[in-house]
Structure 1
Amino acid sequence: MIGIREIQDAAGRIAGHVVRTPTVPSTGLSALLGVPVTAKLELLQRTGSFKARGATAKLLSLSEAERAAGVVAVSGGNHGIALAVMAAALHVKATVVMPRSAPARAVEIAEAAGASVRLTDDMPGAFSLVTRLQQEGLTLVHPFDDPVVIAGQGTVGLEFAEDAGELTDVLVSIGGGGLIAGVAAALRARRPDVRLWGVETEGAQAMSEALAAGGPVPVELSSIVSTLSAPSVSRLTYDHVSALVTEVLVVPDREAVRGSLDLADHAKVWTEPAAGCLLPAARQVLQRVGDGARLGLVVCGGNATTGEMIAWAARFGLR
């Protein structure tokens, strides 16, 4: 299990390389949901998502030989962007493997940063190619199955605990579980009374299916939310969630897209559906916990294009 010391150490290492993102009370979201809401605006992080933290922590932990050989990552979008950009900043050669379903903008950004981008037909194929590249000598920077990466993502929770006012419930999106594992470890150490809720979209339910099965299992992916679409969680992230998180909630893709539109309208921030899913989940939380809730939302990323949002809104009949 990742402890607060590892997260504090990661915070010290990555300071100066990443942004301490704003933690702000949102009057718009508070009015929308009917309770006080505080948002951790990680979409304002370098590369547009929290992923820069874990990638930087891992890159800074490499030996000289590992740096010289280069690194490789598999990604549905944001992790690949983060590794490409932060590796370039730290003068490390990076290869990013993505499924063809990854957002075109993510591929463009990774290539523009100087990374070698390899595309595969699907996410399982991407993981298979990464295994072969590791055998050729590249160091894997895993998006979630790495204690160094999780400690880096945990700095989000450390900052949230330090900067937010009173909170009763914090909601965090889940793909492979690296973000929620780190945030949960930090908040359990700093704010042990806060309830933690994970959020997935239908068709990207790797953590909820793992919890039902008693451990990580492969899942069928069908969600439009590619940045949450891990083919399975890891034992490491599963152990953190099963021990530290109150419950994992699942929302439809349509409601995740609606959540992004509501965040634009009411919070004045441009998010991807991986963050938009927090709003419908927040309504579920409020139905369960009743009066007196004070919500915290980890707004994890904003790497959706206007074209993508327009297409998703049209697909689901949203205005």
Structure 2
Amino acid sequence: MIGITDIEAAAERIAGHVVRTPTLPSPGLSGLLGVPVTVKLELLQRTGSFKARGAAAKLLSLGEAERAAGVVAVSGGNHGIAVAVMAAALDVKATVVMPRSAPARAIEIAEEAGASVRLTDGMGSAFSLVNDLRDEGLTLVHPFDDPVVIAGQGTVGLEFARDADELTDVLVSVGGGGLISGVATALRALRPQVRIWGVETEGAEAMAEALKAGGPVPVEVSSISTTLSAPAVAPLTYEHVAALVGEVLVVPDREAVRGCLELAEHAKVWTEPAAGCLLPAARRVVERVGPDARLGLVVCGGNASAVDMASWVERFGLR
């Protein structure tokens, strides 16, 4: 498992390459949920999500031979964008493998950044293709199964711990578990009294299922939240979450989309379902913790198009 010194080293390495995103109280969300809410606005990060941190940390750690050979990444959207954009900024050739279900805008941005984009029928086949490309000599920038990447994502928690006022409970979205592993490591070191909650959507429950099974297991991916849709978590991220996180809550896609609308209306931010799922989970936390809760929300990304959102609103009858 990584430690706080790894995260502090990552923070020093990526400084100047990523944005120190705002940590702010949200009067709108505080009124909506009935308790004080502080948000870490990682959707304002370069490339629109926290993923730029882990990508930058990994790319900056590579030796000359690895940089020359190029890198490969697998992604449901945000990690691919981050690797493509950060690799271009650092003059490293990148190949990004995505399922065809990935947001069209994510594919477009990765291509515009100069990455070679390969599309597959699903996340399982995407991971298989990446393994083949790695065997051909490309360096893998894994979205979560890498301590360097986890330390990079952990800089979100480092900043949150230093910048936020009093917190009792912090909610973090979970896909493969890289973000929550890093954030939980930082918070356990700097805010040990804070409870940490993971949040997944139905059909993207890799960590919740792993916790039930006592280790990583494959899951069927069906959630609209493609950025949370890992086919399985890694032993590395499972180990962090099992040791550091209190519970992983699972919410329906419909409620995640409703959460996006509520974040737009009450927090004035445009998010994707991977962040929208925090709102229904936050209500459950408040019900269980009570009125003395002081919530922190890691608003992880905002890479959803207006067309995507309109489609989801129509699909779930949220008009």
TM-score (structure 1 length as normaliser): 1.00
The match for 1:210 is: 210
Task: Give distance in 2, aligned partners of 1:76 and 1:122.
Answer: 9
Matched letter for residue 64 of structure 2:
E
In structure 1, C-alpha distance between the alignment counterparts of 2:277 and 2:90, rounded to whole Å: 33
Residue identity matched to 2:10? A
CA contact (8 A) 2:34 2:291 kept: no
- Residue aligning to 1:48: 48
How far does residue 291 in structure 1 lie from its aligned partner after superposition?
A: 2.0
User: Displacement of 1:290 after TM fit?
Assistant: 1.0
CA distance in 2, matches of 1:250, 1:125: 25
**1 CA distance for matches of 2:161 and 2:151?**
15
Q: Report what 1:30 is aligned to.
A: 30
Q: Name the structure 1 match of 2:257.
A: 257
Q: Per-residue CA shift, 1:49-98, capped at 9, x if unaligned?
A: 00000000000000000000000000000000000000000000000000
* In the alignment, structure 1 residue 107 sits paired with structure 2 residue 141: no
* 2: CA distance, partners of 1:295 / 1:284: 12
Deviations 1:167-202 (A, max 9, x none): 000000000000000000000000000000000000
Classify the secondary structure of the residue corresponding to 2:200.
strand
Within 5 Å, give how 1:289-300 maps onto structure 2.
Answer: 289-300=289-300
Alignment partners' CA distance in 2, 1:131 and 1:208: 25
> What root-mean-square deviation, in Å, do the aligned CA atoms of Structure 1 and Structure 2 show?
0.3
Post-superposition Cα deviations, 1:224-274, rounded to whole Å, max 9, x if no partner, equal: 110000000000000000000010000000000000000000000000000
Matches within 5 A, 1:1-319: 1-319=1-319
The AA in structure 2 aligned to 1:248 is: V
> In 2, distance between residues paired with 1:259 and 1:38?
16
CA distance in 1 between partners of 2:128 and 2:241 (Å): 26
SS at match of 2:96: strand
Q: Distance in 1 between matches of 2:267 and 2:122?
A: 34
Cα pair 2:54 2:151 within 8 Å, conserved: yes
Gap runs ≥5 in structure 2: none
- What SS does the aligned partner of 1:186 have? helix
Q: Percent identity?
A: 82
For residues 136 and 242 of structure 2, the distance between their equivalents in structure 1, rounded to whole angstroms, comes to 35
Q: Secondary structure at the match of 1:293?
A: coil
Partner secondary structure for residue 108 of structure 2: helix
- Matched-pair contact (CA < 8 Å) for 2:207–2:232: yes
Query: What letter matches 1:43 in structure 2?
Result: L
Partner SS for 2:171: strand
Q: CA deviation at 1:111?
A: 0.1
Q: Give the Cα–Cα distance (whole angstroms) in 1 for the partners of residues 17 and 47 of structure 2.
A: 12
C-alpha distance in 2, partners of 1:237/1:40?
22
Partner AA of 1:288 in structure 2: R
Find runs of 4+ consecutive structure 1 residues off by over 6 angstroms.
none
Q: Structure 1 CA distance, aligned partners of 2:191 and 2:317?
A: 40
Q: Secondary structure at the match of 2:248?
A: strand
SS at match of 2:92: coil
| Cα distance in 1 for residues equivalent to 2:127 and 2:278 | 28
- In 1, the alpha carbon distance for the partners of 2:132 and 2:110 equals 21
